């Protein structure tokens, strides 16, 4: 398939780009800078120059495609308006394609809010943080759009051995600590390795039923305290000092969206396993994180 990837240098999109190229798909990637274009071109993608804040500048240049993966955002307080204007331009263009186009749209575990001991599934009602309230009607819009066949993926917290949501933990541990966490070590995060999530995007694209949503969680929920201690062990820190910051502090520093780091959540990826045959390879993050890369 010829697939347009939005956000192909990001935590999610870069793994998606590699997975799709490895599976033989023809990948066209949107790049807003020379740096992003060079990175993605070097990995085998074709490049379309453009910015999601100015879709009119590039949507009409999109060649015939079969699918779009949307994993681009700037985490600004304009996310809502940027995404709305992007969809305003993208959907009619996709509707005019000769073949019906699939759009895989990215939601996220934070849309389920604090779950406590409950495990969120695709039928759990949304309870988003204020910063992501706009996502719920947007997902409704995407699913109802007559121009496309839409699928939604709700990723858990996306990590790699050294990066993604664990980047700051790794950096803190590498420099001997203290390791800063948000909300407290009792907080649970649902987890997925970026490479496993990328496989889920591919399976959703290739086999998913139009209109379906899939939660991308390989592990339903792990304590942030355990995650941090595993990473610390890798750097020889047997009893790392933890520094807890409150959600208000991280929100003031990074933006309201960052309150999500303090959410105590569990989320199940069983539907994707059952319906798409998704088999995450990284099922034991605590063991992997404690090992050298
Ligand atoms: N990471 C997670 O744990 C996680 C979990 C659940 C849901 N999500 C959701 O997944 C989506 C992607 O998240 P992420 O963590 O992968 O983000 P990320 O690592 O920050 O990557 C964002 C991507 O969007 C691109 N981008 C940003 N602004 C752009 C613009 N104006 N024009 C064109 N491209 C632009 C960036 O390209 P440049 O190279 O130009 O910067 C980058 O490729 C978000 O909607 C997020 O809420 C993420």
Summarize pLDDT for 146-199 with one digit per residue, the tens.
Answer: 999 999 999 999 999 989 999 999 999 999 989 999 999 999 999 999 999 999
State which residues form the domain around 203.
Answer: 2-158+190-218
Q: Is residue 143 domain-resident? A: yes
Note whether 70 and 195 are same-domain residues: yes
Note whether 131 and 182 are same-domain residues: no
Q: Say whether pLDDT at 258 is over 90.
A: yes
Distance 11 CA to ligand 1 centre (A): 7
- In angstroms, the CA 60 to CA 34 distance is 21
**Cβ–ligand 1 contact at 52 (below 6 Å):** yes
> What is residue 114's predicted lDDT score, i.e. its pLDDT?
98
pLDDT single digits (tens) 52-101: 999 999 999 999 999 999 999 999 999 999 999 999 999 999 999 999 99
Note whether 22 and 107 are same-domain residues: yes
Distance 72 CA to ligand 1 centre (A): 4
Best mutation site among 34, 37, 71 for ligand 1, i.e. most ligand atoms within 8 A of its Cβ?
A: 71
Q: Is residue 86 domain-resident? A: yes
- Reading phi first (left if > 0) and then psi (alpha if -120 to 50, else beta), residue 292 is in beta
Atom index in ligand 1 nearest the CA of residue 13 equals 16
**Cβ–ligand 1 contact at 36 (below 6 Å):** yes
Q: Say whether pLDDT at 293 is over 90.
A: no
> What is residue 190's predicted lDDT score, i.e. its pLDDT?
98
Note whether 195 and 228 are same-domain residues: no
The two structure tokens encoding residue 136? 């719920």
Atom index in ligand 1 nearest the CA of residue 72 equals 24
> What is residue 177's predicted lDDT score, i.e. its pLDDT?
84
At 221, the pLDDT band (50, 70, 90 cuts) reads: very high
What share of the chain in percent tops pLDDT 90? 99
- In angstroms, the CA 28 to CA 231 distance is 36
Note whether 203 and 242 are same-domain residues: no
C-alpha dihedral (250, 253, 257, 263), degrees to nearest 10 = 0
Note whether 129 and 183 are same-domain residues: no
Note whether 184 and 203 are same-domain residues: no
Burial of 209: CB neighbours in 10 Å, binned 0-12, 13-18, 19+: exposed
Q: Say whether pLDDT at 141 is over 90.
A: yes
> Which segments within 194-252 are labelled E, that is strand?
213-216, 219-223, 242-245
Q: Is residue 274 domain-resident? A: no
Best mutation site among 4, 5, 6, 11 for ligand 1, i.e. most ligand atoms within 8 A of its Cβ?
A: 11
Q: Is residue 56 domain-resident? A: yes
Answer for the pair 64, 97: CB distance below 8 angstroms, yes or no. Answer: yes
For residue 179, give the H/E element and its range. strand 179-182
**Cβ–ligand 1 contact at 192 (below 6 Å):** no
- In angstroms, the CA 79 to CA 77 distance is 6
């Amino acid at each position: 398939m010829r697939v347009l990837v939005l956000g192909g240098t990001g935590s999610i999109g870069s793994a998606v780009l590699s997975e799709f190229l490895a599976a033989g798909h023809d990948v066209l990637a949107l790049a807003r800078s020379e740096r992003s274009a060079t990175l993605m071109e070097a990995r085998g993608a074709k490049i379309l120059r453009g910015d999601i804040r100015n879709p009119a500048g590039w949507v009409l240049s999109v060649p015939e495609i079969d699918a779009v993966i949307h994993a681009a955002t700037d985490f600004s307080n304009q996310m809502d308006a940027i995404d709305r204007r992007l969809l305003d331009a993208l959907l009619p263009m996709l509707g005019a394609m000769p073949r019906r186009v699939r759009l895989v749209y990215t939601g996220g575990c934070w849309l389920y809010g604090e779950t406590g001991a409950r495990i969120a599934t695709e039928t759990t009602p949304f309870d988003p943080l204020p910063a992501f309230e706009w996502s719920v009607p947007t997902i409704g819009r995407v699913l109802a759009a007559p121009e496309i066949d839409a699928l939604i993926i709700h990723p858990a917290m996306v990590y790699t051995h050294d990066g993604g949501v664990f980047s700051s933990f790794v950096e803190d541990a590498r420099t001997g600590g203290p390791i800063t966490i948000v909300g407290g070590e009792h907080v649970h995060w649902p987890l997925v390795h970026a490479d496993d999530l990328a496989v889920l995007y591919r399976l959703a694209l290739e086999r998913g039923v139009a209109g379906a949503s899939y939660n991308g969680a390989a592990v339903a929920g792990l304590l942030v305290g355990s995650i941090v201690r595993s990473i610390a062990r890798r750097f020889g820190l047997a009893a790392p000092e933890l520094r807890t910051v409150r959600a208000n502090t991280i929100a003031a520093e990074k933006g309201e969206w960052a309150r999500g780091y303090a959410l105590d959540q569990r989320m199940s990826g069983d539907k994707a396993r059952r319906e798409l045959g998704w088999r995450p390879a990284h099922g034991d993050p605590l063991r992997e994180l404690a090992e050298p890369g």
